[in-house]
Every structure is written in C-alpha cells, then in structure tokens.
Amino acid sequence: MKIKILVIIVLVLFTKTMFSQDPNFHIYLCFGQSNMEGSAAIEAQDKTTHSRFLALQALDCENLLRKKNIWYPAIPPLSQCYTGLSPADYFGKTMIKYLPDSIKVGVINVAVGGSDIRLFDKAIYKNYTAMYPAEWFDKKIRDYGGNPYKHFINLAKQAQKDGVIKGILLHQGEANQDDEKWPEYVKTVYNNILEDLSLKAEETPLLAGELVHKEQNGVFSSMNSIINILPEVIPTAYVISSKGCEVSDDNVHFNTAGVRELGKRYAVKMLSLKE
C-alpha cells in the first residue's frame, strides 16, 4: 500500500512538472489592424530570431510549414500566412535582449487589416465583419472563424497553460479616424480580455501605439490626439510614440525600419513598467 501511494505521489509530481504553467514564460497579446498585422517588407535580418522568443501560430499556414496552436520560433510573419513585419517582432527581440536568460517571451498576434476596433468587441463584432466589399477582407475574417476576438481569446487560453500573460499590445485607429469614442471602445475590449482570461489590470498593462505622425504627413495623424487620451480612460494604458518612425510611401503604414523602431519602443516601455 505504501509503495502504491508513493508511486501515485511521484506520478502527480511528474505530471505537474511536465504540464504546469511556467512562470518564466512571459506572454504578450498583440492585436489591431494592418500595422500590427504586418505590412512592412520582411528582410533577411528580420528572420534571425532567438530560441527564447516564440510565437503561438494563429492559423494553419502550409507556406510556412506551421500548424495552428503550436509554439514556433518567432520568425516573421507572426500573424496570418502572407503578412509582413509587425511591431510584435522587434518587441519580442528587444524584450529578450534585456530580460534575464531564464525568461522566455511569447507573442500571440491576431490582427485584421482595415478593421474597426469594434471588430474585437464580442458583443457587437458582427456589425464590423463586412466593412469592405472585398474578398481580401472577407477572407481575413473567415480565417479567424468569423470571430477574430474569440479566436484571439482561445489562443490566449491555450497559452495560459504554458506561461503567464504579462501585457497587451495594440496598434489600431486608422479605421476609426477622429472618432472620439475610440478610447471607450478600447476600454470595452480591454476589460473583456481581462475578464475572459481572468487577468488583473494592474498586472496586465495595455500599450497602444500612435499612428504615422503629422511630421511625416500621416494620413490619419489626427487620430493620435485621441489615442493619447487613452491613459485617462484606462489607468493601466500607455501610449507609444511613433514620432520619427520611418513610413511607407502611402503615409499610412510604417516601413521596415519604422516597424523595427516602433516594436523596440513598445518593449522599452514594457521593460520600464517592470522596474
């Protein structure tokens, strides 16, 4: 009898060790529209990653030889199958550069180019799944099972079995230009994420990046004044400046160098919150 009890105890301890949540695996949730999705060209240097930086694959991508729901080395694209470089990439690379060697960083990136922030509002998302009469937009929604927010949360719940969610990164606003209610929309989405994943706001900061700045003739630069109100609505929110980040010819998206810099700025702010 004593031997049987001992065996059971050993098995329980072994199971807990093999499948328990790793507190040294820090996970960050990334969402938004095209700049977060990844619109910048991926260059050779961007494909160099680190064994401590991982991404949870959001979709099955035959072209990338990746399967949904599996952690892979974080080699761009980090969202969808044919997107470009995202701020999430250099966010993670910068984080592991300055965090202790014992810490791994993981990202989950679910973003939809051209989407209204309310596409991520679980109560009214259906009103925003047909914003554009174009196949490219419909396909993005279909790929996320018709409900990007639910897809996002399901991935996050799986990730919580492996590590600890430490923060949320947002880059969105072009589709909500000059809408003064945007901070409240974001607050609703943020609060839903916290509730659905049993997270505490004070332990899960929200970092929101500015759009292309007016100094660079940003098409949607007027939205930045609204984005900068976000910390007044969400005390645990912080705005990441995009001033000086290089932009593409359309003056809407950041180019490769600009995306790298923006991602680093997200990381610098997140690291400062850990001090």
Q: Which two tokens stand for residue 237?
A: 């929110």
Q: Is 250 a known active-site residue?
A: yes
Give the Cα separation of 199 and 103 in Å (integer).
20
User: Among the options 151, 248, 250, 272, which is catalytic?
Assistant: 250
Q: How far is CA 167 from CA 83, 98, 101, 138, 206, in A?
A: 23, 17, 19, 29, 6
Question: Letter for the amino acid at 247?
Answer: V
Q: Tell me the residue ranges of DSSP E strands in 116-203.
A: 164-171
Quote the distance between the C-alpha of residue 146 and its chain's center. Answer: 19
Q: Is 253 a known active-site residue?
A: yes
User: Among the options 26, 151, 171, 253, which is catalytic?
Assistant: 253
Q: How far is CA 229 from CA 177, 224, 232, in A?
A: 14, 9, 6
In sequence order, the 6+-apart residues with CB closer than 8 A to the CB of 132 are 114
User: Among the options 26, 34, 86, 242, which is catalytic?
Assistant: 34
Q: Is 26 a known active-site residue?
A: no
Q: Quick check: helix, strand or coil at residue 244?
A: coil
Positions annotated as catalytic residues are 34, 250, 253
